[in-house]
Structure 1
């Protein structure tokens, strides 16, 4: 009896000790953090997502998944319940995405804000957060279209790289190489001219300066020529007046001679004759000045050489030409 009592006491002691240890472990492992529950709404798959999967806000773990199920009102939607730390800044503009946990194939829920510059407005407890498709989901959705476009691009590339096009491309490359060679030769030929170009520019500048000076001299000569022409015109007008006066004098003398021939005494006839000769001399002088008005300035030019005189043969040659 005494041995049985000791065995029962030892068993009770061990049982109480185990219960105490279990209570201690439960006490230390218990989650006493204040949580706020939200619902993540997904219209695509949530593969790799399990209960107790972590929930991260901008990479910081702030909660876990506590439920996964279909929406009773719309079976095409999946409702994922998450428990998030009450201190986590979950805003009304937050959206969710699935992320992979390394190479395990398991997923977690990542929360991101759409507008990070806007003032923080916390989401109400129980609010629904949309789940945006991940990169792999978008690739899976647009995969057939991408494959079709890739196939079309491959066909066009195959058509572009046909035998005829490759041959034509080879000819074009040969012509391009020949053009490059010709250009190199042309540049080599132009190098001496390019070296001489500065000197030519200097000569052209000096020539332009000389031409400017010559133009100024020509303008000065033109001004002098205009003045000389005006002077000559004035002198010619004077000569014309002189010629007119001589003609009037000759006419008057002739009239006087005719009037006095009949009844002039013999003593006055030599005087009339001298007046007539003087008038004719004045007329010849006026006619000579009219033919060569420049003789008034530069002197009378000599008459052309006659037969037997020096220069007559050259004159005949020039006249023959």
Structure 2
């Protein structure tokens, strides 16, 4: 009798638990049906992977409704229309933003409202004609939709990396590293010489800086001399040239007006040449006559030859 009594108690407890669960479910259904709902249609212009019927609708992280269904836009199948219902006491306004948020690590997505200022008009969510609200772009959704491209690029990168680190390239890289190490060792062995060379470069740079300063000082002095002494001389020359210019203009005018007389004078000078040559010939003859008159006056006057003295 005792084992049968235990079975009866267990069965009775099971029936009572099932009845309680059924009553609780009926109470939830009744409370859900008694609630007033506002219906909206959310438009997505990107994929909505992870969103499904029955997923919660959140407002700033608080559950306020659920997803009723998902359909494609008949005019543009790349757009998705999601029908939701929200507790009618939750104010959905025209400037309220909506988007997708990650529900858990499995990739399930929820619809979430955020924002909305109190002075913005409220959207009436009618069941027969729900208003359309366009969702904000979702960076996470874009990341998921572009995951295949990222994986493809990662695969290409790994493939190229494998080509770069092939055995031949590794051998070449080892040779380059060995050569680099030898060059480094050679530089380290000549470290003191390099330091001395750097010191020489530093000294040369200092001398060059001093020379540059001297050149700058000389340039400044030359500039002061040019401004203080040469500039007045140039100004005086400019004034002198300005004074001489009228004289040159008058000389040019005089030359132009007496061009014929000047040409005649030049011709007269050309005819004067033979006369001058004859005059020079006459002067030479007079010079010879004077010498003859000095040495032999009678002969020069009478035309007799000069007497020569005879030696005994």
TM range (shorter): 0.3 to 0.5
User: Normalized against structure 1, the TM-score is what?
Assistant: 0.41
User: Normalized against structure 2, the TM-score is what?
Assistant: 0.42
